[in-house]
């Protein structure tokens, strides 16, 4: 090693590098997670802005006063802010192509416009409101209880871990691994298209949050790290053992061979 190389090489360098990497990963994690926007309280301005957006983008199908158009689109009076936040927030509305099922698209409006549209529709008649951040916080829910409730009420369409599944006549229950917590709650409240409504008597608000905790757990991937296509903890654990044990045995043999 010449003098320059010795100066460049520091014993603490690898440790520092790992620390920097960890810090960077943590930062990325924070940014990627973000926090769900709280349901803002609607003002008269929001309602007025929402009405303008509605007239320009929705009235052609739903009617100028959201009263609905026969054979084209249903009335939105009384569907509530939750239905609008769900339909527009997941990009289903404004609807474009007609088919067996309204398609999800990239949302066409930003969060502020969506809350304005929601405020306008909510002003037309009483309906389910957008859940608060606390109501959908997976940290406050119990994933084990949520799993039970999900398996009895949702799994027949969405699959036991929310992977989605085909229904009849070209319809399908989508996978729930990238759906936001708020949209999961709202889907239960409003029951989009062929999905039934799960009101608070069917599934209590607390159990709705437990379901969210369960789905959130699925979204985070398995606790073991790599997901391996979600074939299940036992099968994935088995692979973990196989690969890890294989490595340990291989390195033991290698070390043994070098020593002798
Ligand atoms: C091309 C026509 C069309 C346009 C444009 C459109 N919609 Fe719809 N909308 C529909 C139809 C059709 C349905 C019913 C879908 C179903 O349930 O099969 C619907 C359903 C909905 C629902 C669900 C109602 C319920 O009972 O839960 C909401 C909320 C909604 N639309 C909001 C909007 C908003 C807000 C806009 C404007 C940003 C919009 N729509 C634009 C055709 C349209
Ligand atoms: C009868 C079948 C059926 C059952 C039971 C059912 N769903 Fe659905 N679900 C659907 C269908 C179909 C859609 C798609 C509707 C659409 O695109 O408008 C859907 C959509 C959703 C969405 C929206 C997903 C997205 O990506 O936007 C969520 C979230 C959801 N369901 C959660 C649930 C939960 C939680 C339960 C149980 C409490 C449940 N569903 C029970 C059929 C079902």
Tens digits of per-residue pLDDT, 6-58? 556 667 776 666 677 666 655 554 454 433 333 446 788 999 999 999 999 99
> What is the reported pLDDT for 56?
95
> What is the reported pLDDT for 37?
39
Q: In degrees, to the nearest 5, what angle opens at C-alpha 64 toward C-alphas 60 and 67?
A: 100
Atom of ligand 2 nearest to the CA of 156: 5
pLDDT greater than 90 at residue 136: yes
Q: Give the ligand with the smallest distance to the CA of 195.
A: 2
> What is the reported pLDDT for 237?
76
Q: Look at phi and psi of residue 24 and say left if phi exceeds 0, alpha if psi is from -120 to 50, else beta.
A: alpha
Q: In angstroms, what is the span from residue 99 Cα to ligand 1's centroid? A: 14
Residue 74 is encoded by which pair of tokens? 């249903």
Any atom of ligand 2 within 6 Å of the Cβ of 208 = no
pLDDT greater than 70 at residue 126: yes
> What is the reported pLDDT for 34?
39
Q: Look at phi and psi of residue 43 and say left if phi exceeds 0, alpha if psi is from -120 to 50, else beta.
A: beta
Residue 6 is encoded by which pair of tokens? 């010795």
Mean pLDDT for the stretch of residues 182-201: 95
* Integer Cα distance of 8 and 29 in angstroms: 32
Q: How many CB atoms lie within 10 A of CB 244?
A: 10
Picking from 149, 83, 142, 141, the residue whose alpha carbon sits closest to that of residue 117 is: 83
> What is the reported pLDDT for 33?
44
Q: Name the more confident of 206 and 98.
A: 206
> What is the reported pLDDT for 100?
83
* Integer Cα distance of 218 and 187 in angstroms: 18
> What is the reported pLDDT for 99?
79
Q: Give the ligand with the smallest distance to the CA of 149.
A: 2
Q: In angstroms, what is the span from residue 241 Cα to ligand 2's centroid? A: 36
Mean pLDDT check: name the lowest of 77-86, 151-160, 195-204, 235-244.
Answer: 235-244
Q: In angstroms, what is the span from residue 19 Cα to ligand 2's centroid? A: 42
Mean pLDDT for the stretch of residues 210-239: 73
Q: Name the more confident of 256 and 222.
A: 256
- For 176-200, letters b (16+ CB in 10 Å) and e give bbebbbbbbbbbbbbebeebeebee
pLDDT greater than 50 at residue 179: yes
Residues in the chain, overall count: 260
Q: Give the ligand with the smallest distance to the CA of 66.
A: 1
pLDDT greater than 60 at residue 259: yes
Picking from 218, 114, 100, 221, the residue whose alpha carbon sits closest to that of residue 170 is: 100
> What is the reported pLDDT for 36?
36
Q: In angstroms, what is the span from residue 237 Cα to ligand 1's centroid? A: 45
Any atom of ligand 2 within 6 Å of the Cβ of 179 = yes
Residues contacting ligand 1 via CB (< 6 Å): 57-58, 60-62, 73-74, 76, 79, 83-84, 87-88, 93-95, 102, 117, 190, 193
Is residue 164 within 8 A of residue 70, CB to CB? The reply is: no
- Per-residue confidence band for 128, with pLDDT thresholds at 50, 70 and 90: very high
């Amino acid at each position: 090693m010449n003098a320059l190389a010795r100066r460049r090489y520091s014993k603490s360098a690898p440790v520092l590098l790992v620390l920097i990497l960890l810090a960077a990963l943590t930062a990325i994690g924070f940014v990627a997670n973000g926090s769900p926007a709280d349901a803002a309280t609607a003002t008269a301005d929001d309602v007025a802005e929402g009405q303008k957006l509605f007239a320009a983008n929705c009235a052609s199908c739903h009617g100028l006063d959201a009263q609905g158009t026969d054979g084209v689109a249903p009335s939105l009076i009384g569907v509530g802010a939750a239905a609008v936040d769900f339909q527009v927030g997941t990009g289903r509305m404004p609807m474009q192509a007609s088919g067996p099922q309204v398609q999800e698209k990239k949302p066409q409006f930003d969060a502020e416009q969506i809350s304005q549209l929601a405020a306008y529709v909510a002003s037309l008649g009483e309906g389910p409101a957008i859940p608060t951040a606390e109501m959908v916080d997976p940290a406050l829910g119990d994933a084990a209880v949520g799993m039970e409730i999900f398996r009895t009420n949702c799994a027949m369409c969405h699959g036991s871990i929310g992977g989605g599944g085909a229904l009849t006549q070209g319809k399908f229950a989508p996978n729930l691994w990238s759906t936001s917590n708020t949209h999961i709650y709202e889907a239960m409240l409003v029951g989009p298209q062929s999905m039934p409504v799960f009101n608070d008597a069917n599934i209590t608000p607390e159990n709705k949050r437990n379901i969210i905790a369960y789905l959130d757990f699925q979204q985070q991937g398995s606790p073991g790290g790599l997901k391996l296509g979600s074939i299940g903890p036992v099968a994935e654990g088995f692979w973990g053992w196989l690969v890890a044990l294989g490595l340990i045995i291989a390195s033991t043999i290698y070390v043994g061979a070098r020593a002798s």
